[in-house]
Amino acid sequence: MRVEAIELRQIAIPLLFPFETSFGREEVKTCLLVRAYADGLTGWGEVPASAAPLYNEETVGTAWHVLESFIVPRVLGWTFHHPSEFPSLVKDIRRHHMAKAGVEAALWDLFCQAEGIPLSRALGGVQKEIAVGVSLGIEGTVDRLLRRIEDFLVKGYRRIKVKIKPGWDVEVVRAIRRAFGEILLQVDANSAYTLEDAPIFEALDAFNLLLIEQPLAEDDLVDHAKLQARLSTPICLDESIVHPEDARKAIELGSCRVINIKQARLGGLSAALRTHDICRERNVPVWCGGLLETGVGRAANIALASLPNFRLPADLSASDRYFEEDIIEPPVRLNPDGTITVPTAPGLGFQIVEERVEKYTTRREVFRL
Ligand code: OSB
Ligand code: MG
């Protein structure tokens, strides 16, 4: 297939509920969409960078710049037989993983449409339904958080993840256990602690959590290994794993026992597949994380999460957990048993609703040969 044009859009969609983590608060979901044109087809991908560089170093502004100046010029006129050829085209461009991942996803969508197969099949997926949970931000009060958890449990979500930060951790988890008993529960610190806070994690160890996500600094596999040695709860790394080889190193060092795979953080679906395989060979379970993606990014994540080593419930919730109105049809829906069904239609398996994309667009440009 030969890429004839690339459209970039920045969009801003109001979130139904503000999302607060140890690093900040989001009320509007801002990201980029990539649309690639080839052989009469169009493929879509999402760059789930935010307005500010708080989760990682990228923003919608840096992603736009790197795409416009460095990545798009290489992709225009480029011919590919398989989307897994894309990473080598941009290998010398350091980092900017989310920017790369958005283009790669659009190429996978194009490829799958041309082949008439669903993305999950092209990736090697085997699961027809994905068990999913919900990730809840830091709420103003514990009572508010408990009410929100109850709402999601009633809807059927299989697992609850709550964000923690210093001062909002052990007592919050204790209150959740007291209110809801032995539900599947995990916490995510987004690197808000240091090894000196080990006693907090030793206290959390008593609550039978599924895992503790990214307690320490993103670039510190050594202290994570020291902390993991003191805990029976598995540590799961998110921000620390930006390359498939990071997963191997973290596992070898004992820095974690579970890995959160986000294809955008890793630089694309190919890197995510490699990370999945590295973990699978070492019998380390993975699960699919999220970045509050729109339906475009979520569709790619759902397909990825159908691979066999995705063994813990995913941070993939229904469209109505995030938005009043998603930009895909049908919206992502939660089955009564707490799963999401992997689509079987070609490509992403959802229709992108162009009028809605247009409505939420704040910046747009088409790059042609
Ligand atoms: O650390 O997993 C995270 C959202 C934005 C940035 C970082 C994270 C998250 C989530 C939300 O936890 C997961 C979702 O998309 O539902
Ligand atoms: Mg996380």
SS (H, E, C) 236-258: EECCCCCCHHHHHHHHHHCCCCE
Q: Which helix (H) or strand (E) covers residue 27, if one does?
A: strand 24-38
Q: Give me the chain's average pLDDT, please.
A: 98
Bridge partners of 188, per DSSP, are 163, 213
Ligand 1 atom nearest to 292, measured from its CA: 15
7 lines ligand 1 (CB under 6 A): no
What's the pLDDT band for 249 if we cut at 50, 70, 90? very high
What's the pLDDT band for 220 if we cut at 50, 70, 90? very high
Say how far apart CA 326 and CA 292 lie, in whole Å.
Answer: 12
The residues assigned a catalytic role are 163, 262
Return the best residue to mutate from 13, 16, 17, 21 for the ligand 1 pocket (most ligand atoms within 8 A of CB).
Answer: 21
Tokens of 251: 């596992």
Say yes or no to pLDDT of 140 above 90: no
3-state secondary structure (DSSP) of residue 158: coil
Say yes or no to pLDDT of 153 above 90: yes
Say yes or no to pLDDT of 148 above 90: yes
Question: What pLDDT, on a 0 to 100 scale, did the predictor assign at position 86?
Answer: 98
What average pLDDT does range 154-173 have in this prediction?
Answer: 97
What average pLDDT does range 106-115 have in this prediction?
Answer: 98
20 lines ligand 1 (CB under 6 A): no
- The answer to whether 107 touches 86, Cβ cutoff 8 Å, is yes
- Say if pTM beats, i.e. exceeds, 0.85: yes
- The answer to whether 76 touches 3, Cβ cutoff 8 Å, is yes
Question: What pLDDT, on a 0 to 100 scale, did the predictor assign at position 301?
Answer: 98
135 lines ligand 1 (CB under 6 A): yes
Say how far apart CA 48 and CA 290 lie, in whole Å.
Answer: 9
Distances (CA, A) of 246 to 174, 224, 252, 278: 33, 13, 10, 10
What average pLDDT does range 103-126 have in this prediction?
Answer: 98
Question: What pLDDT, on a 0 to 100 scale, did the predictor assign at position 362?
Answer: 98
319 lines ligand 1 (CB under 6 A): no
Question: What pLDDT, on a 0 to 100 scale, did the predictor assign at position 123?
Answer: 98
The one-character DSSP state at 312 is: S
Q: How far is the CA of 195 from the centre of ligand 1 (A)?
A: 23
Catalogue the E-assigned strands of 132-176: 134-136, 159-163
- The answer to whether 19 touches 94, Cβ cutoff 8 Å, is no
> Which protein residue's CA is at the shortest distance from atom 14 of ligand 1?
290
Provide φ and ψ at 249, rounded to 5°.
-65, -45
Say yes or no to pLDDT of 219 above 90: yes
- Tens of pLDDT, residue by residue over 281-317, are 999 999 999 999 999 999 999 999 999 999 999 999 9
What average pLDDT does range 228-240 have in this prediction?
Answer: 98
317 lines ligand 1 (CB under 6 A): yes
Percent of the chain at pLDDT > 90 equals 100
